[in-house]
Amino acid sequence: MALTIRHGRIAALHDLSALVPLAHWQGEQGVLVRTDDSLDDVVAKIHLLSVIAIEFPQFTDGRGYSMARLLRERHGFKGEIRAVGEVLRDNLFYLSRCGFDSFVLSSPTEPSKAIESLSAFSEAYQASVERPQPLFRRRAA
């Protein structure tokens, strides 16, 4: 089951069986993208998708972060972006800043602890999907 956390609350639990690998996708609601898949194939059908799951083969693989940002910022994807695979609670804050709004943790974690990790830091210096202005620009305004 996938846990979707929005605005610091559990929004939904999802069955992962509705996702298929990109190579087998034939118009289902959601697609599973591996970090070595071409994002161009997803973008060509983005208007048909409600969920894009990005699989992290290792927690140290940062390509999924870039894919989520590109989907949100360059391609305007408004649906759910779900992190699956080697997803750790410690990564949730950073994943959410890149556009992920749903997470399947690789190790059992209490939902309340996962929600706490989304607000691990009170402020971030860098721009993000959720806050496009870096801190110095927000302070100047």
Beta bridge partners of 85: 56
Query: Residues 72-113: pLDDT tens digits?
Result: 999 999 999 999 999 988 899 999 989 998 888 887 777 788
Per-residue pLDDT tens digits for 23-71: 565 555 788 899 999 899 889 888 888 899 999 999 889 999 999 999 9
Residue 22's Cα: distance from chain center in Å? 16
What are the residue ranges spanned by the domains of the chain?
2-140
CATH for 2-140 (2.60.40, 3.40.50, 3.90.550, 3.40.630): 3.40.50
Half-sphere exposure of 108 (CA within 13 A, CB side): 0
- Bin 116: left if φ > 0, else alpha if -120 < ψ < 50, else beta: alpha
